Amino acid sequence: MLKNIIISQEAIRFLHREGRMQIPNVVIYRDDPTISCCNVRPSTFLISIKVMDRDTINDNFFMMYDNSYDISIWVEKGLLKYLENRRILISLKKGLFKRLLIEIGSEVLQSQ
């Protein structure tokens, strides 16, 4: 399903050094909308990414993909169909705060 998950070298260094985790787990999930009305979930969603400890990951909710960097990637099961056959790049966004950035599909081609 997801064979093309690429983590930039900057992001790997960030995960190991500044993330202060020996074995980081990267989680790709649907971000909860900040505004909701009438208990109806919107049809669009943002994809977010965060680093978590293995103990806090819900095995029923996320599915693991491993890559060649020895960093486990967990993807929310609800996103699998949406992300299927798309290239995913995880890089480091610099600014006031450093954080991980996810780019999907054609976004990757435009940035390279």
Q: Is residue 109 assigned to a domain?
A: no
Residue type, 34: T
- What CATH number is given to the structural domain containing 28? 2.60.300.12
For 83, the 3-state DSSP assignment is helix
Global pTM value:
0.76
Number of domains making up the chain:
1
Q: Is residue 64 assigned to a domain?
A: yes
**What per-residue confidence (pLDDT) applies to 40?**
59
The structure tokens listed for 38 are 């009438």
Cα-only R_g, the chain = 14
Q: Is the dihedral of CA 2, 91, 42, 36 positive or negative?
A: positive
Q: Count of residues for the chain?
A: 112
Q: What residue ranges of the chain have pLDDT lower than 50?
A: 108-112
Query: Which residues span the domain enclosing 75?
Result: 5-32+46-96
**What per-residue confidence (pLDDT) applies to 91?**
92
Strand order across the 5-7 sheet:
5-7, 88-93, 99-104
**What per-residue confidence (pLDDT) applies to 109?**
43
Q: Is residue 101 assigned to a domain?
A: no
